[in-house]
Amino acid sequence: MEATKKPAVAIVMGSQTDWPVMEFTRNTLKKFGIESTVKVMSAHRTPHEAVEFAESAADNGYEVIIGAAGGAAHLCGVLAGHTVLPVIGVPVKGWSLDGLDSLLSTVQMPKGVPVATVAIGKAGAINAAILAVQIMGGADAELRAKMVEYKKTMAEEVIAADAALQA
Ligand code: RP5
């Protein structure tokens, strides 16, 4: 019997309150047939758990970590500091400053420890999944073919929208 494949992507959120945004990441990954593990852990509230998760992520079979946090969004930086896996950061709009705080605290990493930071909120959550697929697609022709199809469909939708306007 074939063993069930473990998820290759981990979605790590600073709070359960990030889920309405991060659900888009999980659902976008699913469109490409990629399952994910979803965890809630915080750089501030559960720092030990966050570090332990990051340190063991590669050995646990993950290929990409997608982190999400709002406000003083240090989670992705902490994860990136404790793993050699690529970390994609989604800045979540917090309770003030319209997410600019989250964006800057996620993106402004020192040299040597990147967090591939995407847009604030829903667009970023979707793009984090797309970027993870593109990273994994480097070694997976089937996944690359799905990405070609995805882009083709996206273009067709735009062309159809334009055609509807011209009609
Ligand atoms: C961050 O603080 C979380 O990622 C969340 O975006 C934000 C607010 O968290 P809660 O106070 O809603 O749990 O750590």
pLDDT tens for the 167 residues of the chain, in order: 445 678 999 999 999 999 999 999 999 999 999 999 999 999 999 999 999 999 999 999 999 999 999 999 999 999 999 999 999 999 999 889 999 999 999 999 999 999 999 999 999 999 999 999 999 999 999 999 999 999 999 999 999 999 999 98
Q: Which residues of 115-147 are buried (b: 16+ CB within 10 A; e: fewer)?
A: bbbbebbbebbbbbbbbbbebbbeeeeebeebb
Q: Ligand 1 centroid vs 145 CA: distance in angstroms?
A: 37
CB 90 within 8 A of CB 103: no
Contacts of 106 (CB under 8 A, 6+ apart): 67, 69, 73, 76, 77, 89, 90, 91, 115, 117
Q: Supply the angle between the helices 122-137 and 19-31 in degrees, to the nearest 10.
A: 30
Identify which of 133, 136, 112, 160 has the alpha carbon closest to the alpha carbon of residue 25. 133
Which runs of E-coded beta strand occur in 5-145?
A: 9-13, 36-40, 64-70, 87-92, 116-117
Give a yes or no: residue 3 inside a domain.
no
- The helices-and-strands tally (H runs, E runs) of the chain is 6, 5
Give a yes or no: residue 62 inside a domain.
yes
Ligand 1 neighbour 69 (Cβ under 6 A): yes
- Give the ligand 1 atom nearest the CA of 16: 13
**96 labelled ligand-binding:** no
Tell me how far CA of residue 46 lies from CA of 26, 41, 133, in angstroms.
23, 6, 28
Q: Ligand 1 centroid vs 18 CA: distance in angstroms?
A: 7
**45 labelled ligand-binding:** yes
Give a yes or no: residue 94 inside a domain.
yes
Q: Whose CA is nearest to atom 5 of ligand 1?
A: 70
* Parent domain of 75: 9-140
Ligand 1 neighbour 121 (Cβ under 6 A): no
**144 labelled ligand-binding:** no
Ligand 1 neighbour 42 (Cβ under 6 A): yes
Give a yes or no: residue 154 inside a domain.
no
Split into its structural domains, the chain has a count of 1
Give a yes or no: residue 152 inside a domain.
no
pTM (two decimals)? 0.95
Could you tell me how far CA 107 lies from the centroid of its own chain?
14
Phi-psi region of 61 (alpha: psi -120 to 50; beta: other; left: phi over 0): left
- CATH number of the CATH domain containing 55: 3.40.50.1970
